[in-house]
């Protein structure tokens, strides 16, 4: 939905009433404003800014971090969140997205959805009269990516000149991380097994964004080449939700893409490791890495709370 009654932040950036489906819809300045607000809310966690506000949360995929961080964020800011399992509401029995959007819009101040098809998020946003937040779909994971770059900013103090490397499946996490890292001017490297590259259209948009913002983009199939001099190395599970039947095949095809101590020896001396979690130790990453001194995965997970609060406050108030 698009609101004509637009609120502005102190920087003059408009957010109120907007949807968050993908970071392709947001400018670099808008992303930086959200990061600044997330930093402030991390230091000042409790307020009443969302008092009386209600977030409806539709889940078609299971969740730990997304559900708890959105619920906790609403509570910390004085609001309330309602968990809606898709199997338990009429959407799971054939009610249309359009009807669901219109009905929920009359009850709540915003809708978060965690689903499969990106088109379902887009349709929900089209017919809702309140902001819609993409909590995850098969193409994008925008809230995760905002937590990722907030963590990088905290770890490194800047974005410019950083080499960030994503290794593994070219999935929704990779897509949003690529887009946001490119908007912030980082040198982005994505390394996948052949046949598991990111979406071609998203690769093209990432290349455009790096060109506009002073960074670079490289797609490679060589993990050692990819991590050479890397400041950040990021991975995700090899088989995402909905790909369970491919798990054994992927274990074989991805085994040389494991992030381990040997691979990180080729990175910068102060390299930091990220993972969106949940992790499968000894598959995509070794326990020595994810539980070691280079890992920032739990700082990254905590930051889901702070960025989601920034998104909620910006879109609702």
Sheet of strand 187-191: strand arrangement: 216-220, 187-191, 163-167, 232-235, 272-275
Question: Could you check whether the bond before residue 56 is cis, i.e. omega within 30 degrees of 0?
Answer: no
Tell me the three state secondary structure of residue 151: helix
Angle between helices 28-43 and 142-156 (to 10 degrees): 70
Give catalytic residue positions. Answer: 114, 141, 144, 236, 276, 304
Please report which helix (H) or strand (E) contains residue 110, including its range: strand 110-114
Backbone φ and ψ for 112, nearest 5 degrees, come out as -110, 135
CB 154 within 8 A of CB 299: yes
Contact 48, 68 (CB under 8 A): no
CB of 279 within 8 A of CB of 285? Answer: yes
How many other C-beta atoms lie within 10 A of the C-beta of residue 17?
Answer: 18
């Amino acid at each position: 939905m698009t609101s004509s009654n637009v609120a502005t932040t102190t920087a003059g950036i408009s957010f109120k009433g907007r949807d968050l489906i993908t970071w392709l819809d947001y400018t670099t300045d808008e992303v930086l404003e959200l990061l600044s607000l997330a930093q402030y809310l991390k230091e000042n966690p409790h307020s009443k800014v969302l008092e009386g506000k209600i977030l409806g949360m539709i889940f078609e995929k299971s969740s730990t971090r997304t559900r708890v961080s959105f619920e906790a964020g609403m509570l910390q800011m004085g609001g309330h969140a309602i968990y809606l399992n898709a199997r338990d509401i009429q959407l799971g029995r054939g009610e249309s997205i359009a009807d669901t959007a219109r009905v929920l819009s009359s009850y709540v101040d915003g809708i978060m959805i965690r689903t499969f098809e990106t088109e379902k998020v887009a349709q929900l946003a089209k017919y809702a009269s309140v902001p819609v937040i993409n909590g995850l779909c098969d193409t994008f994971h925008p809230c995760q990516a905002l937590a990722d770059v907030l963590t990088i900013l905290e770890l490194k103090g800047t974005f410019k000149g950083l080499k960030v490397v994503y290794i593994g499946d070219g999935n929704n996490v990779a897509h949003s991380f690529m887009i946001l890292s490119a908007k912030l001017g980082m040198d982005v490297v994505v390394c996948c097994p052949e046949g598991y590259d990111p979406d071609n259209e998203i690769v093209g948009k990432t290349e455009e964004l790096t060109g506009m913002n002073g960074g670079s983009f490289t797609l490679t199939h060589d993990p050692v080449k990819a991590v050479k001099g890397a400041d950040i190395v990021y991975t995700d599970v090899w088989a995402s939700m909905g790909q369970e039947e491919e798990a054994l095949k992927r274990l074989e095809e991805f085994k040389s893409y494991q992030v381990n101590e040997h691979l990180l020896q080729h990175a910068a001396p102060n390299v930091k490791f990220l993972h969106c979690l949940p992790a499968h130790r000894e598959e995509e990453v070794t326990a020595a890495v994810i539980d070691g001194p280079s890992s920032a995965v739990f700082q990254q997970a905590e930051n889901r709370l702070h960025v989601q609060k920034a998104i909620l406050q910006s879109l609702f108030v």
